[in-house]
Amino acid sequence: MFISFEGTEGVGKTTLIRRIYDAFLAEGREVVLTREPGGTPMAEQIRGLLLAVNHEEQMCNDTELLLMYAARAQHLAQVVLPALEAGKIVLCDRFTDASFAYQCAGRGLSEDKLNLLNQNFVARMPDLTFWLDAPIELGMNRARERGALDRFEQEKVTFFEKVRGGYETLWQRHPERVKRLDATQTPDDVFAQAKAQLQMI
């Protein structure tokens, strides 16, 4: 089973993923916990480029999208697909839905570009996606409490409102896969929401 976790900044994805990971381990399941961009040494280097705030030039939106997919191609080949073929559960912090939400809805890139990349470089989509949804200001306050903000976290609220709208679009398009979780609730409550969805599949 391939499960992805999505949402804007500071909604609690990391906390939820860790709890689900621990729950699967307690059941004796083989689980791989990974993230995007990143998940392999090479993809983590690309992540560094994407999140850095000190570039001497502004990263154009197409470059951002292509770097995301360069990291994703490496991640799929080295981590995700081998784990799934071995019968393991893969828990991934962000996947292709993040590219739609951030690069298409947020940056305004054509969805056709994204579809072309998905068709050519994404051999497997998640079986289940948890979308942790919370008001932008709430999430950004949490993100600020974590420390210095990365290049994405420094974006304006208006950008993240577009990203949140992108996730809502995906939730409406793919209700069988994308499950909305109310991330304004406590971590225990969010975990309970996710467990209820897992018991339904």
Query: What mean pLDDT do residues 101-109 have?
Result: 96
pLDDT bucket at 147, cuts 50 / 70 / 90: low
- The tally of domains found in the chain comes to 1
70-89 burial, b at 16+ Cβ within 10 Å, e below that, comes to bbbbbbbebbbeebbeeebb
Q: What is the mean pLDDT of residues 53-75?
A: 93
Residue 54 confidence (pLDDT): 81
Q: Containing domain of residue 166, as a range?
A: 2-198
CATH code for the domain of 71: 3.40.50.300
pLDDT digits over 5-28, tens only?
999 988 999 999 999 999 999 999
Q: Is residue 143 predicted with pLDDT exceeding 80? A: no
Give phi and psi for 128, each to the nearest 5. Answer: -150, 140
The residue-averaged pLDDT of 129-133 equals 97
**Per-residue pLDDT at 157:** 83
- Say how far apart CA 139 and CA 48 lie, in whole Å: 22
